[in-house]
Structure 1
Amino acid sequence: TLNGSFGAAVVADGTGILLNNEMDDFTQKPGVPNLYGLVQGEANAIVPKKTPLSSMSPTIVARDGKPFMVIGSPGGSRIITITLEAIVNVVDHGMNIQEAIDAPRIHHQWLPDTVYIEPFGLSPDTEKLLAS
């Protein structure tokens, strides 16, 4: 996965493959926002042999004990929200997978304490109610 445009901006000789800059997924300084404005704590600090926190969440949904849906998504810190909302749209709201993917999304990161609402994600009256 690449964080930011063109990852580390380094191409492995003879391959044409961009090297990633996944180190940004670690906390460089607890409490200080990273490249995407996300604030992390000491638990995700850079230490030897450690894997950084990741939102990657490939998911298999079963129905009656059999695979019903296999889903995953790009989207950085929003991956978990995107995946859950798509599953809920299919399972609970009867959408087909394309409708579920195309549906507007809402995301709250926790830190920073900001709610992201895609256009038409909520009705204006619901947005006002939540803001009050």
Structure 2
Amino acid sequence: MEHLILISLPINKSLPCIRKYGIRRIFFGFRLSQLCTLATIVMIYFLSAVFIIQMGLILYLSGKIKAERIQFRSKLKPLEDFIVQLEQENVSRSHQIRLSEELKLQLKEVNTALRKNIFDLNYQLFQDSCSKKER
């Protein structure tokens, strides 16, 4: 492949070809088809470079995102374990509270029954003692 060099020079407006065709610059050494081919080749290389850079950037960012996701999961795992532990403690405490409330209710019932039994026993003893005094 030949190396083509583009040379652009401003020209004097007094030249007859400039007055006739309105050309402002003269390109030396290249025909129009060669200039279009050169521009196409340069554009292809440029777009290829941009595409490769963008693909590299996409791959780099996806790798970085994956690494950050792994790091986030490793930080999240102890928090999840801690939350599970707190939930288990919460369930245990709520169970203890429920048992405590049930125990309080049973204790009230037992106290009521015990008071009634003690009252009945005292009443019976009082009646027995009164009946013994009367005799």
Structure 1-normalised TM-score? 0.21
The structure with the largest strand share of the pair is 1
The structure with the largest helix share of the pair is 2
Rg comparison, structure with higher value: 2
Structure 2-normalised TM-score? 0.21
